[in-house]
Amino acid sequence: MTCKLQGLFPTVLACLIAFNTSSLSGQTPGPSGVVQQQRGNSSYKNVSGRVVDEEGQPLPGVSVLLGGSSNTGTITDAEGRFSLRVPDDTKQRLRLSYLGFKTLEAAVSNFMDLRLQKTDGQLREVVVEGGYGLAQKRSDMVGSAFQVEAKQLEKLPPARIDNMLEGLVPGMTVSPNSDSEATVHSRYKTRVRGEGSLTAALEPLWIVDGVRIYTGDRTNQVPGANATISPLSYLNPEDIESITVLKDAASVSIYGADGSNGVILVTTKRGRSIRPSFTASLTMGITQINGSLAFRTLDASEYLTLARESYRNRFATTDPTMRFFPFQDNAGNTYTTTQTDWYEHFFQTGFQTQAALSYSGGNEAQRNYISFAYFDKDNSLRGNRQQRASLRINSDMRLHKRVRLSLRIASSLNRNNIFSPGQDYLSYLPIVSLYDAEGNLRLYNHIYIQDSEGKPALKREKFLNSIARREENEHYQRGFANNSNIGLQIELWQGMTFNSELGVDYQSIYESEYRAMSNWSGRNGEELLGYAYRNSPVFFSWNSVQRLNFNRNWGQHNVSALAGFEAQSRETTSTLAQGNTFANDHIREVSQAVNRWSSSSFNLTRKASFFGQASYNYNKRYYIAASTRRDGSSDFGEHVHWAQFWSLGASWNIHNEAFFRSESVKLLKLKASYGNAGNSRVGRLHARGLYAYGKTYDGRPASTMESISNKELSWESSYIANLGISLRLLDRIDIEFEAYDKVTKDLINKTGVSLATGNTSVDSNIGSLSNRGLELNIESQNIKTKSLLWTSSLNLSHTNNIILKLNAPRLGSTNIVWREGHDKNTLNVVRWAGVNPRNGEALWYDARGNITNTYDINNAVPYRSTAPLLTGGFNNRLSYRNLNLSVFMTFVIGGYSFSSFSSRYSSDGYSIMNSNQSVNQLDRWQQPGDLALSPRPYWGISTKSGMHSTRYLFSSTHLKIKNIALSYDLPKEIVKHIGLRQAQASLIVDNIAVFTPYDRAGRNSYRQSISGFPLETGYSLSLNLSF
Amino acid sequence: MRKPFIATLISLLCLTACDNFLNVVPVGKTYTSLAFSTIEGMRTARSGMYYKMYELYSSECYVFADLAANTIILNHNSAISDRTKQIYDYEPVLNQNGYWGFLYEIIANINQVIAHQPALIQKYPERQSELEGIKGEALFLRAFCHFALCNFYAQAYNYSPDASHPGVIIVTRNLGPSDKLPRNSVKEVYEQIVADLHEADKLLEGRSSTSKYYAGQQAVQALLCRVYLYMEDWEKAAAYATRALQNTKLAYGEDYLRMFTHLNNKETEVIFRLNGLKNENNLLIRLFSMREDQQGKALPPPALVDKTLSDLLSEHPGDIRITGLMRLEVNTDGNTYFSTEKFNIKDNQDPQDEHINPILLRLSELYLNRAEAYLNMKQESQAAADLIQILARGLQQDPAGFRLSYGSSDELRNILRKERTKELCFEGHLLFDLKRWKQDMRRSPQTTSPVHYLPYPNNRFLLPIPEREIQINPNISPNPDVNN
């Protein structure tokens, strides 16, 4: 099956090349791009040219008109190029206009190199990337896409690019995958317009310069490694020119089976102009755990007070003198005098540096962008460090008048030192010291117990000291990533180009871990072994796109079209070796271990697709666009190998209408689109029924049935309707408002089958759900004077999720229930009714709403939803002379969040002997009449008060000040004087503060459990020079 | 113009080539149709059926009928599976797939083999004989599984006069996700079992079974004998016992003990057993073997022998089944109990590959089956003769000179039932025998289970149909009392 592929590509390529040459010979261009033609009595000539901005950046979408007439005109393409047929003897001049730029008039000549000047301080019209060569001006768009520019990213923490987008894009959220306090290297989930599936991936598709990059599996986990380091951390954010988030059907249908969760296009910088320019930047900073956001646990004296009280509450009659209380001072442990702040042992002031150097320049035939960057972050959690060295070479060459070659080569070498303390930084008791009496890292605690004769006795207990693990073990991951693309563009004839692209994404990871026998992680019981693990997952994917783009204007009629073929392949291999039992801790390689295991795996997925797009606009007033894609995937069963996706869209630029005359409204646009996209990332579907190998019987290989077939299974498909309005007021305020309805049909989930089939469940299509939402984005210039400029941008999004159809209610992830007519994030929990003031018992409501003192999971009721009412971001920039200040905030309004982790530290005495507790436990019931928040604590007795209930439900409303940056541009005269073009110094603070409405001084609330693992605050100084 | 032509060509090329491009099979697995496309594939699927059988019968399932009856004292504090405790305590857990799910999984594997066999005969005519043998084995295993399902989930065949009470689902084809079949009556299930076994009998005719690890004609006949015995068709039970006993000899003395305790033995008595080589399931070994505590102090096995059984075995001094197969242990409660040696494998060479080979059919059972059949056919002397074979072997005496005295046929029946209990203990028979004998289940006062006594008839003798099946399959009827 694999061999067929090798035949396919050359064939297709050969055919396409044959196609090109034949079409090239069809029309021989005249010298210097001018074709003389005779038609009727008058003669025409073709003029062509290129339009750039002041910095030499090409300007696509510039309107080029001959004189005042509106019959002869065109717009520039993605490269800023245009060509126009004009009467040979024309006296008229070309009029170039572009929103945000001064209109330029130029005399007609054969080849024109034109430069437009920005109008001062006005909102610039953005060119939005669309993939497959479909870049458009925002005012020409039919679909919904939001673009984040390099400028918005430059002051954000450069560790990973998905995190940088938090709060910047309407309709998109970025948040940690888990609220667990034990997750140091949290995977992040990115959601575009809600969650459109129950079990399939909800992550958008990431594409860097046309190459799909592997960002982990369904839940962003990297298979084959013990610790997941996100491949999105392998990219150097300084190389990014723009990030475009495609959201509606008109934009994502062309990505077919991978489009339903949105598509994120990352476009990297290109060589701007011939003039060589260099940029050097250095950012250095420190990071610290944000004290106000860190979960608060008991200090030593609070802990002992509560522990003793819990003990007394339980053993008041059997051990009134507390003879068997475990934490009594002895030679090994002095509990009463020890005061350990474990945060201090686990955390430090982290240090981070990013140094980058980039070059841009070239000549007429070639433009280059070369950058090198080094990023080093020593985390505030000790034992964790991220290092990244990245190199990028982007080159655009003009091989021939009609042939262009583009190269994108990016590599990065990453090293991550990993140490995960789990929850130890919270759970370790403050009455235990890090070192034992001999001054070694503690491996034992000594506690009192009741011996078999009923007398107090001292017992030595293991202390699983994770700091010893950090100091003595070794765990790192090295990742090499290469993301490259080579593209050939041939202009076949006027307006028609052929593009052939081959992109490669290669990620090779090597993970090494050694667990030393000097601490418990390297022991089996008391046996000293030492464990070594070596994992090496490798991901190799390529995609090849052959496409024809067409772009042409006939008078007022502007037509563009695209047709293409794409093939993709992704190969995942992993090898794993592990061993244990070493002679000592110095020999750490598996080959030296007494016991050794190894394994390997291989996985191949392939996709093939055809796609097309066509759009037409009349006089920049009426736009229609249609797109389609046919996708085939090897993951699906025979019956559904192929799936068809399509979209239709239209927009109306009212401001270009003759009847529309308004001084205040400069732009008014309505748009609508409808279509579908799919979700192929559901994990392997065994539509055909599978047999598995690997067992033996009587020494012979055996195969057994793994799954039965479900021939009716089909792909999940989302139907997205989108309505939008864009408005520009007074050239000062840009408003974009969109509403969408995204219905996902044929949701796939495991469905139980009769056990008589031999299976428990099969993947089936079980229902449908919808995400409806509103998005608002406002960008404004609030104050604009000669020396002062204040701009702000605000985005707000609201999503309403409803399960439309479900074959039967079912439980989703923890505490979540899926029911028809309800949000898929509806919580299903027992309602907490507080503490009985008479006896300190925990109380709940039963399913019918009566108060009960017994916890029963069957009393769980569908309660509230974790989905917020509104999420958004608010960014303000203030420039005064050479000073710039930007303040970036994100916020969430409404919604509830269940803190799995608060419940663990509010055990009401149940696990107080093993784990430190939340400071909230101090508000416990002590005597009748107490209106306490926590029940009466009992040592080691579970009253089930710590079980999941609404006791741990918090409103997720909060405001986060994510980033403040203050920068100073050195005055131009001084800069020039020292031979520079620009010099800027900045002070940047990240994750400054979080505000929640229900805080209590000195206690934990949502603020302290918002992200599980405490948030880091960073302070950095940055210096940018360009010359 | 050549362009449209070339464009068409390209798309055609892509379309045809793409389907091949997209045909990727996951590694370590194949599509079912592909798995059965070669004779080698069929052979591994054959091994797969037996492997699934081993997987089930190397668990506590093997001794279910003992755990639920009165031969075991279970230490609840030991590290044994929850299911073991639940069976012993009659606390059925509904939220698992149970033996129900497992046995139907085996049946699905078997039905795949049966369904793909004809196409392979067409493809490999020269392999017809081998393929017919495989089908014979598959039919035998399918009968075995349906029979086991009845034993676990249905009342005995003689519970109602015409066996019309609910049995289990008969599955003789590959089911799809939408198939939700009702339970058949016990009569119908037994008819299917008998039909499968008769066809297997023909297909395996004249084949010499080379190994005890695969079913041969003798195994088919032995199972038919047991099935007819359960159906109380005494003539046929006796006839099939006689057929299966042709040219066989019971194991005596050391050979008899080694059959249980050694992987390497003469296998003279065994008709069919499963092979555990290179497989990991040690549940049975752990249940019946000595343990150590954290300080390395020896602890008795989790499962000990109930006094009811050890008293029965001590009835005649010098019985090899107590001297050779029982060991005296001091339990944690200070009392002494016997433990069984039937799962104490002494020649497990490689600790990484510690296993047992569970016995599913052996000759002694046939003698006891036939004795019971003869007794019910009022042929008491012949019944006594078969019984003497087992009694004398236990007491290590020559059966020729062994005298068995009994006053009435009821007394002989009593001796026979005791002998069956003694001989086949811990081999998964007792509760099923009690059900068809219409006997009460009574445990000794030392039992650690809350259940001491269950009178016949009793709905609690049945396992509950898994909750999952009831929820998904609207046509299934639950088992009364246990399914609430």
Contact B177 A5 (CB under 8 A): no
Contact A688 B13 (CB under 8 A): no
Distance (Å) from the alpha carbon of A1022 to chain B's nearest alpha carbon = 50
CB proximity list for B178: less than 8 A, separation 6 or greater: none
Burial class (CB in 10 A: 0-12, 13-18, 19+), B209: middle
pLDDT in the model for residue A802: 92
From chain B, the residues in CB contact with A15 under 8 A are 6, 9-10, 13
Contact B213 A1 (CB under 8 A): no
Contact A11 B112 (CB under 8 A): no
Q: Which residue of B has its CA nearest to A7?
A: B17
A189, two tokens: 């989930």
| Average pLDDT, integer, range A752-756 | 89
Strand A826-829 vs strand A861-865: parallel, antiparallel, or unpaired?
Answer: antiparallel
pLDDT in the model for residue A683: 55
Say if residue A566 is in the same domain as residue A494: yes
- The closest CB to that of B30, out of A606, A690, A755, belongs to A690
Distance (Å) from the alpha carbon of B302 to chain A's nearest alpha carbon = 23
pLDDT in the model for residue A30: 35
H or E element at residue A378: strand A366-378
Of A71, A104, A120, the position where a domain reaches its end is A120
Distance (Å) from the alpha carbon of B203 to chain A's nearest alpha carbon = 22
- Count of domains for chain A: 2
Contact B47 A703 (CB under 8 A): yes
Cα separation, A262 vs A248, whole angstroms: 8
- Of A643-657, A899-913, B12-26, B259-273, the range with the lowest mean pLDDT is B12-26
Q: Which residue of B has its CA nearest to A706?
A: B29
Reported ipTM:
0.90
Instruction: Please check whether residue A762 is in contact with residue B177, taking contact to mean a CB–CB distance below 8 angstroms.
Output: yes
* Mutation target vs A (from B22, B106, B332, B471; most A CBs, 10 A cutoff): B22
The residues pairing with A363 across neighbouring beta strands, listed in sequence order, are A366
- Of A183-187, A611-615, B107-111, the range with the lowest mean pLDDT is A183-187
Distance (Å) from the alpha carbon of A526 to chain B's nearest alpha carbon = 11
Segment A79-108, tens digit of pLDDT: 788 888 787 777 778 888 776 677 788 888
Confidence of residue A777 (pLDDT cuts 50, 70, 90): very high
pLDDT in the model for residue A18: 38
Which runs of E-coded beta strand occur in A471-556? 474-493, 496-515, 523-524, 527-528, 531-554
CB proximity list for A487: less than 8 A, separation 6 or greater: A210, A405, A406, A407, A408, A499, A500, A501, A502
The residues pairing with A606 across neighbouring beta strands, listed in sequence order, are A569
- The closest CB to that of B47, out of A22, A605, A700, belongs to A700
Confidence of residue A60 (pLDDT cuts 50, 70, 90): confident
CATH number at residue A239: 2.40.170.20
Residue-range definition of the domain harbouring residue A712 = 147-288+349-419+473-825+866-906+953-1026
- Of A750-764, A808-822, B178-192, B263-277, the range with the lowest mean pLDDT is A808-822
Distance (Å) from the alpha carbon of B88 to chain A's nearest alpha carbon = 24
CB proximity list for B300: less than 8 A, separation 6 or greater: B75, B290, B291, B329, B330, B331, B332, B337, B339
Q: What percent of chain B has pLDDT over 70?
A: 92
- pLDDT surpassing 60 at residue A122: no
| Average pLDDT, integer, range A100-123 | 72
Say if residue A112 is in the same domain as residue A151: no
Confidence of residue A21 (pLDDT cuts 50, 70, 90): very low
From chain B, the residues in CB contact with A688 under 8 A are 31-33
Confidence of residue A763 (pLDDT cuts 50, 70, 90): confident
Contact A684 B26 (CB under 8 A): yes
From chain A, the residues in CB contact with B23 under 8 A are 1, 634
Alpha-carbon distances of A935 from A21, A830, A906, A928, A1003, rounded to whole Å: 83, 16, 10, 12, 16
Cα separation, A393 vs A382, whole angstroms: 35
- The closest CB to that of A697, out of B23, B26, B54, belongs to B54
Segment B127-162, tens digit of pLDDT: 999 999 999 999 999 999 999 999 999 999 999 999
Q: Which domains does chain B have, with CATH numbers?
A: 41-216+272-280+426-472 (1.25.40.390)
Determine the distance from the C-alpha atom of residue A446 to the mean position of all C-alpha atoms in its chain, rounded to a whole number: 47
Q: Which residue of B has its CA nearest to A751?
A: B177
Contact B32 A709 (CB under 8 A): yes
The three state secondary structure string of A983-997 is EEEEEEEEEEEEECC
For residue A8, being part of any structural domain is answered with no
* Mutation target vs B (from A755, A763, A811, A858; most B CBs, 10 A cutoff): A755
For residue A454, being part of any structural domain is answered with no
Strand A111-115 vs strand A42-52: parallel, antiparallel, or unpaired?
Answer: parallel
For residue A687, being part of any structural domain is answered with yes
- pLDDT surpassing 50 at residue B1: no
Confidence of residue A2 (pLDDT cuts 50, 70, 90): very low
* Number of other CB atoms surrounding residue A695 within 10 Å: 20
- Any idea what DSSP says for residue A297? B
| Average pLDDT, integer, range B96-107 | 94
Confidence of residue A178 (pLDDT cuts 50, 70, 90): low
3-state secondary structure of A359: strand
| Average pLDDT, integer, range A27-48 | 50
pLDDT in the model for residue B294: 58
Phi, psi of A762 (to 5 degrees): -135, 155
- pLDDT surpassing 90 at residue A152: no
Determine the distance from the C-alpha atom of residue B291 to the mean position of all C-alpha atoms in its chain, rounded to a whole number: 27
Size of interface A-B (CB pairs under 8 A): 216
Contact B176 A708 (CB under 8 A): yes
Q: Which residue of B has its CA nearest to A608?
A: B18
Burial class (CB in 10 A: 0-12, 13-18, 19+), A754: buried
- Angle at the Cα of B9 from the Cα atoms of B3 and B12, rounded to 5 degrees: 145
pLDDT in the model for residue A945: 86
pLDDT, mean over chain B: 89
Instruction: Please check whether residue A258 is in contact with residue A681, taking contact to mean a CB–CB distance below 8 angstroms.
Output: yes
Contact B47 A753 (CB under 8 A): no
- pLDDT surpassing 80 at residue A537: yes
Segment A308-332, tens digit of pLDDT: 999 999 999 988 999 999 999 998 8
The one-letter amino acid at B340: T
B419, two tokens: 């002998």
- Any idea what DSSP says for residue A521? G
| Between A204 and A12, residue with greater pLDDT | A204
Contact A702 B3 (CB under 8 A): no
Distance (Å) from the alpha carbon of A610 to chain B's nearest alpha carbon = 9
- pLDDT surpassing 50 at residue A13: no
Which residue bears the tokens 């001794």?
B63
- pLDDT surpassing 50 at residue A23: no
Segment B326-364, tens digit of pLDDT: 988 877 777 788 999 999 888 877 777 788 999 999 999
pLDDT in the model for residue A79: 74
3-state secondary structure of A429: coil
Strand A444-450 vs strand A403-417: parallel, antiparallel, or unpaired?
Answer: unpaired
- pLDDT surpassing 70 at residue A338: yes
Q: What percent of chain A has pLDDT over 70?
A: 91
| Average pLDDT, integer, range A418-433 | 91
Contact A703 B41 (CB under 8 A): yes
pLDDT in the model for residue A20: 38
Cα separation, A775 vs A797, whole angstroms: 4
3-state secondary structure of B74: strand
Q: Which residue of A has its CA nearest to B47?
A: A702
Segment B203-244, tens digit of pLDDT: 999 876 678 999 999 999 999 999 999 999 999 999 999 999
Residue count of chain A: 1027
Say if residue A69 is in the same domain as residue A184: no
Q: Which residue of B has its CA nearest to A606?
A: B22
Q: Of B141, B143, B145, B167, give the one whose Cα is nearest residue B154.
A: B167
For residue A858, being part of any structural domain is answered with no
- pLDDT surpassing 80 at residue A281: yes
Confidence of residue A638 (pLDDT cuts 50, 70, 90): low
Confidence of residue A595 (pLDDT cuts 50, 70, 90): confident
* Mutation target vs A (from B1, B9, B11, B24; most A CBs, 10 A cutoff): B24
B235, two tokens: 């003539």
- The closest CB to that of A606, out of B24, B27, B106, belongs to B24
Say if residue A162 is in the same domain as residue A261: yes
Say if residue A113 is in the same domain as residue A236: no
H or E element at residue A450: strand A444-450
- pLDDT surpassing 80 at residue A26: no
CB proximity list for A984: less than 8 A, separation 6 or greater: A967, A968, A969, A970, A1022, A1023, A1024, A1025
Q: Of A128, A127, A131, give the one whose Cα is nearest residue A212.
A: A131
A97, two tokens: 């206009």
From chain A, the residues in CB contact with B465 under 8 A are none
- pLDDT surpassing 90 at residue A158: no
Segment B450-476, tens digit of pLDDT: 999 999 999 999 999 998 899 889 999
Distance (Å) from the alpha carbon of A487 to chain B's nearest alpha carbon = 20
Contact B45 A691 (CB under 8 A): yes
Confidence of residue A37 (pLDDT cuts 50, 70, 90): very low
Q: What percent of chain A has pLDDT over 90?
A: 40
Cα separation, B442 vs B452, whole angstroms: 6
Confidence of residue A19 (pLDDT cuts 50, 70, 90): very low
Q: Of A521, A415, A371, A544, give the one whose Cα is nearest residue A6.
A: A544
H or E element at residue A306: helix A300-315
Contact B10 A15 (CB under 8 A): yes
Say if residue A84 is in the same domain as residue A215: no
pLDDT, mean over chain A: 85
Say if residue A589 is in the same domain as residue A716: yes
Confidence of residue A684 (pLDDT cuts 50, 70, 90): low
- pLDDT surpassing 70 at residue A687: no
Instruction: Please check whether residue A752 is in contact with residue A233, taking contact to mean a CB–CB distance below 8 angstroms.
Output: no
- pLDDT surpassing 80 at residue A678: yes
Phi, psi of A655 (to 5 degrees): -65, -20
Confidence of residue A68 (pLDDT cuts 50, 70, 90): low
Say if residue A97 is in the same domain as residue A218: no
- pLDDT surpassing 90 at residue B181: yes
Cα separation, A645 vs A647, whole angstroms: 7
Say if residue A102 is in the same domain as residue A166: no
Which residue bears the tokens 């009992």?
A938
Contact B32 A688 (CB under 8 A): yes
Confidence of residue A75 (pLDDT cuts 50, 70, 90): confident
Handedness of CA A187, A190, A191, A196 (dihedral sign): negative
Which runs of E-coded beta strand occur in A894-1015? 896-898, 953-955, 958-969, 982-995
For residue A196, being part of any structural domain is answered with yes
Q: Of A498, A28, A612, A15, give the one whose Cα is nearest residue B4.
A: A15
For residue A701, being part of any structural domain is answered with yes
CB proximity list for A141: less than 8 A, separation 6 or greater: A128, A651, A671
For residue A938, being part of any structural domain is answered with no
pLDDT in the model for residue B244: 95
From chain A, the residues in CB contact with B213 under 8 A are 697-698
- pLDDT surpassing 90 at residue A113: no
Cα separation, A873 vs A33, whole angstroms: 49
Say if residue A107 is in the same domain as residue A183: no
Say if residue A217 is in the same domain as residue A105: no
CATH number at residue A75: 2.60.40.1120
| Between B23 and B298, residue with greater pLDDT | B298
CB proximity list for A217: less than 8 A, separation 6 or greater: A201, A223, A681, A683
- pLDDT surpassing 60 at residue A5: no
- The closest CB to that of B2, out of A22, A605, A693, belongs to A22
Confidence of residue A545 (pLDDT cuts 50, 70, 90): very high
Say if residue A821 is in the same domain as residue A695: yes
CB burial of A323-337 (b: ≥16 within 10 Å; e: otherwise) equals ebbbbbeeeebebee
- pLDDT surpassing 90 at residue A714: no
- Angle at the Cα of B246 from the Cα atoms of B241 and B248, rounded to 5 degrees: 105
- Angle at the Cα of A426 from the Cα atoms of A424 and A430, rounded to 5 degrees: 95
- pLDDT surpassing 90 at residue A6: no
Contact B26 A606 (CB under 8 A): no
For residue A765, being part of any structural domain is answered with yes
3-state secondary structure of A188: strand
- Any idea what DSSP says for residue A1013? S
Q: What do you get for the CA distance between the two ends of chain B, in Å?
A: 78
- Angle at the Cα of B210 from the Cα atoms of B204 and B215, rounded to 5 degrees: 45
